[in-house]
Structure 1
Amino acid sequence: MNHPQSPETSNEPLAPGQRLPESERKELSPEAIAEIHAIMAKYPDKLAATLPALHIAQREFGFVSLSAMKAVAKAIGIPEGHVFGVATFYTMYQKAPVGKYHFSVCTNISCALRGAAQLLEKVCEKTGVRPGEGPSPDGMWSVEEVECLAGCGVAPCIQVNHDVYDELVDEQKLIDVMEACKRGEYRPWAQ
C-alpha cells in the first residue's frame, strides 16, 4: 500500500490536514469568538460566515492551521470538513507560518511579460527568502509566487500582506516598501 510518508515514519497515511504545519495556539480568544458571532448575525445562513471567520482566525493564529480551522468550525457550529474545504481552496489563507511582512509576487502571463521573474528574484534577494521556504530567521519576511493578483493591466504586480502594488513596481519601489516595513509604517501580517 502506498502512503504519503515512508513506512519508517508512519504505518498509517496522514489525513490532508495532518500534513499541514500546526500552530502552538489551539483556541480562538473570547474577543474573536464574539467578533465571529457578530458576523454570523448578519447572514441568514451561518455557513456564510466561514470566510470572514477564517480571516479572524488567520489574524489570531498568524496562519490557518488545522487547529484554527477546528476553532472556526466550533465557533460557528458547522462541520470541520466544511471549514477545511474552504480554507484549503482559497489561496488568501496561509496554511503555514509567514513572516511579519509577506510578499506575494504574481508570475502569471501579464506580469511575466513585464518582468515578474526578475522582480521575484529581487524580492528573494532583498528578503533573503525563497518562495515556500517559510519566514526569514528573524521572522520579518516571507515570499510566495502566486498566479494572479488582478493587476494584469498594470503589471508586474506584488502584494505585501494585504496591500497590492501594481503600477511601476521596480527595484526602487520594492526597497521603498521594505524600508517602510522596517520603520513600522506598515501593518504586519497578523494584525
Structure 2
Amino acid sequence: MGRVVLWLLLLALLPAYAQETYDWIVVLGAAQYGGRPSPALERRLQAALHLFREGRGRRIAVAGGKAPEDLYSEGEVGCRYLAARGVPEEALFCETRSRSTYENLLFLKPHLEGRLLLVTDAPHLPRALFLARLLGLEAEGYPVPGNYPLGYWAKEALYRLWLYLGLRPQGVFSSRFNASR
C-alpha cells in the first residue's frame, strides 16, 4: 500500500518537474555599446544563459545587426558574451545583419529548425511572438522580468495594433530605434 501511495505521489508531482526543451533559445536584439551589451541586451543574455544551463534549449541564437557608426553587431556581442560564460561555440548562432525585430526573425528563419523559445523584454514579447507566427516559426516566449516603464508597454501595444490591422511589420514601427533596442 505504501508503494502505491509513493508512486501516485511521484506521478502527481512529475508534471511540476517536467520542463519543455526547445531546439533553439532565441535572444532578440537590443543595443550594444562599443562591444559591450546594453543593460537590456545583458538581461536577455543572462536569461538565455540560465535557460541553456537548465537544459531548456539545445542551442542559442543571438540576433541583431549594427548601426553604420558601430564597430560591432548586437549578435556578435551577444555571442561573445555567452561564449565567455561557457556556452560552447557549436551551440551558438550569431545573426549580425538585422535592424528590427521583424528582421531578427526573418534573417534567423533559414537557420532555425524546430521549436523556438524567444527571449526578450516582457513588453516586447507579444509583438515578437506575433511576428514569429506571421513568419511561420513555431515559437513560444520567455519574458525577461524587469521594471519597464508604462511608455514601453504602451508603445508595444501600439506596435501590436499596427500589426493586427494588417499593416506591414517593416517601416515606422520596426526602425533601428524601436523600443526593443
* TM tier relative to shorter chain: under 0.3
If asked which structure has higher relative contact order (CA below 8 Å, sep 6+), I would say: 2
Normalising to structure 2: TM-score of the pair? 0.27
Higher strand share: 2
